[in-house]
Structure 1
Amino acid sequence: MSEMSSVNRKLIQALAETISKQVKHFNKTEVECLIRGFHYLVEQNISKNTAGGLDRGRFRSILHDMFGMTDYMIMDGVFRTFDKDNDGSVSVKEWIEGLSVFLRGTLEEKIKYCFQVYDLNGDNYISKEEMFQLLKNSLNRQPTEEDPDEGIKDLVEITLKKMDHDHDGRLSFADFEKAVREENLLLEGFGICLPDNTSIETYERHLFEEQWEH
């Protein structure tokens, strides 16, 4: 058993060496912890058709349990940004690449990430329809006599006036980036898709400190 765990440790160290050279924001020791953490999450994966990765359902439950996310549309968008090869499963490298932005990304990296999450159909634009769907999903509306959809349509128009710099009725990445750089609060304007600082600290403490204590 100790020989096997020794082999596993060597494999993990070799993989960590490779990944840490390709991914920003994590050192080799942290990447080792992330690999171990990933294998633990995969072992709990209910679906066995993911070839050692995290399927959409398991990924959603991680976002919910560890980072307090509740919006399925946003969580599916986060899954798409992590699953770069679009094979329906997040591999260990995709997981670590995704977390590098999710947990420690620069503003520039986070702008790209959020834009991808909000671009529901992957056509490199956030359309009026996508804005409407995202806002309808993320706003906690109070029941009123008015048609709530009308209020959301108004909000979409107001948002477009503020963010659509080339006035083509949709948001390109350039529009989105310019608006967020001018007003950082707009980064997650269409729904919470990044963890708050408390969640990040809790997750990193659990992952990087506690693992080395055992």
Structure 2
Amino acid sequence: MQDEVQHNFTHIIPERLESLECKTGFSRHVIRRFYRAFKQHCPGGAVTTNNLRPVYAKLFPLGDSRKYAQIVFNTFDEDKDGLITFGDLLSGIASIVKGDTDKKLSWIFGLYDLNGDGHITRHEMLAIVSAIYEMVEDTRSIERAVHRHVNRIFEKMDLDRDGIISKEEFITSCKNDQLFCNQLTIFDDLWW
């Protein structure tokens, strides 16, 4: 995981409204609504991992959500500066909410492709599946379940059996799974 970056910022000014509209496809009204909520929780104009971890800890009080919170943080931190600005957050949300199936799947793929090299290795898949399991279960009891889960994922998605899942394999496998495609549409009306 990326080392925690210490930031001494007093206030980060968000991108111009017109730029955010163009970049995300959200209306001015929706962007303003998001911004008010964002500023309420992040008055300095950015999220750090220290801000995000308590949110996940409240959502998943029975497990350890630190690893997963860091993975999500890294996915939203577009420029990898250790901060999630309002623009970073809005762009990620737009990909999930407003994007077509390929855009949504690309964002999800980026969540799993921990090092950003365009492939999901078994090691990366183990890391993220473990982080997900750790949020809801005791770490000691999950190792075997995590390995079984990752083996099933690789069986289904590693179409050429080369030990890695490419972005194309990931998207193709997800698109061929009707249940998964139906679940992607949950995001379509989430924010309205």
TM-score calculated relative to the size of structure 2: 0.71
**2:12 pairs with 1:18:** no
CA drift of 1:148 comes to 5.3
CA distance in 1, matches of 2:73, 2:80: 10
1:126 is paired with a residue of what secondary structure? strand
Tell me the amino acid that sits aligned with residue 22 of structure 2. Answer: K
Whether the aligned pair in 1 keeps the contact of 2:17 and 2:28 (CA below 8 Å) is yes
**2:71 pairs with 1:81:** no
CA distance in 2, matches of 1:19, 1:127: 34
Tell me the residue number matched to 1:107.
101
TM-score calculated relative to the size of structure 1: 0.65
Whether the aligned pair in 1 keeps the contact of 2:113 and 2:124 (CA below 8 Å) is yes
Gaps of 5+ in 2: 1-12
CA drift of 1:164 comes to 0.4
CA drift of 1:74 comes to 2.8
Tell me the residue number matched to 1:32.
32
Aligned residues: 171
Q: Which has the larger radius of gyration?
A: 1
Tell me the residue number matched to 1:125.
119
Tell me the amino acid that sits aligned with residue 48 of structure 2. Answer: D
Post-superposition Cα deviations, 1:10-34, rounded to whole Å, max 9, x if no partner, equal x99x92223112212x111111222
Tell me the amino acid that sits aligned with residue 28 of structure 1. Answer: R
Tell me the residue number matched to 1:7.
none
Post-superposition Cα deviations, 1:97-147, rounded to whole Å, max 9, x if no partner, equal 122234444322221111111112222211111222222332356899xx8
Tell me the amino acid that sits aligned with residue 18 of structure 2. Answer: E
Aligned Cα root-mean-square deviation (Å): 3.3
2:16 is paired with a residue of what secondary structure? helix
Whether the aligned pair in 2 keeps the contact of 1:54 and 1:90 (CA below 8 Å) is yes
CA drift of 1:96 comes to 1.4
Identity of aligned residues (%): 22
CA distance in 1, matches of 2:139, 2:37: 42
CA distance in 2, matches of 1:149, 1:138: 12
Flag the 1:131–1:172 CA change in 2: closer, same or farther, 3 A. same
Matching of residues 89-168 of structure 1 within 5 Å:
89-139=83-133, 149-168=143-162
CA distance in 2, matches of 1:178, 1:121: 21
CA distance in 2, matches of 1:32, 1:173: 34
